[in-house]
Homo-oligomer: A and B are copies of this chain.
Amino acid sequence: MSMKELLESLKSNGYKITEQRKSIIQVLTSYNNKFISVETLFNESKKIYSKTNMSTVYRNLEILENLNLIHKILTKEGISLYQLISTTTHHHHIICKRCGKTEVIDFCPISSFEKLSKNKNFTLTDHKFELYGYCFNCENLKDS
């Protein structure tokens, strides 16, 4: 989703367009389908609009998440990562544990489980499928 569309979405939900919001959204869109940490988002946003404050970043991430415009994951190390929700196809990721390089996997194993979960009387709402490892570069640099 483009910056313009995201701002429209906020506006149509009654939110005002502030410089801070614009800077946050600009950074998010520039990251496309990649995950970004709160700290990086904060630092990058400040480069665009220097007054952006950390509380503002958190508050806006919450708004965007509630509007289903961004997606949050927490790494095992406790780092919160956000990414824009893709408007194209549903997909998952391979994530490099060293450099964070993220590649899209255009396949989702969920369909096989819709039946299974019915058998278990489970209503599925979310799922997570992520592959972790090392990209070619990092694999070769790993021990250096």
Contact surface of A with B, Cβ cutoff 8 Å: 72-76, 78, 80, 94, 96-97, 103, 105, 107, 109-110, 112-113, 116-117, 120-136, 139
Are B112 and A107 interface neighbours, CB within 8 A? yes
Are A127 and B122 interface neighbours, CB within 8 A? no
The 7 closest A-B pairs by CB, nearest first: A109-B109, A121-B136, A126-B132, A124-B133, A74-B74, A125-B133, A123-B134
Chain B: minimal CB distance from A39 (Å):
16
Main secondary structure of the interface of A (DSSP, over half): strand
- List the number of copies, as a whole number: 2
Chain B: minimal CB distance from A128 (Å):
5
How far is B133's CA from A18's CA once the two chains are assembled, in angstroms?
36
